[in-house]
Amino acid sequence: MPPAQNQITGLVLLSAPDKEGIEESLREVLAPFTLEILEVQRIALRGRLILGLLIAFDPAHANAISSDINEFSQNSGIDVALDFSDLTSEE
């Protein structure tokens, strides 16, 4: 389902040693926010995990989501990259 027009999308890319619970931990970070997970891609290769989540959310929450994900990255030692895009720029 495409996101509503008053939302933006965010690509969350995570890279870490592949161990149980990483995706669940990231979802816990995102749980306080009203957002929709549009797509999940997971690659496990040679003991490494590359996880991509495409999310849609209210642009007013972008700074808080970014802050919480960056805190998660620093506390866990997991590499995380974020890319937020305005839907109007994707048309």
Set out the domains of the chain in order of their start, with CATH numbers: 11-90 (3.30.70.260)
pLDDT at 12: 97
If DSSP codes are grouped into helix, strand and coil, which group holds residue 90? helix
Q: What is the mean pLDDT of residues 35-62?
A: 96
Q: How confident is the model at residue 90 (pLDDT cuts 50, 70, 90)?
A: very low
Residue 33 in contact with residue 69, Cβ under 8 Å? no
- In this structure, what are the phi and psi dihedrals at residue 36, rounded to the nearest 5 degrees? -120, 130
pLDDT at 4: 60
Indicate if the pLDDT at residue 51 is higher than 50: yes
Residue with the two structure tokens 């305005």: 86
pLDDT at 74: 96
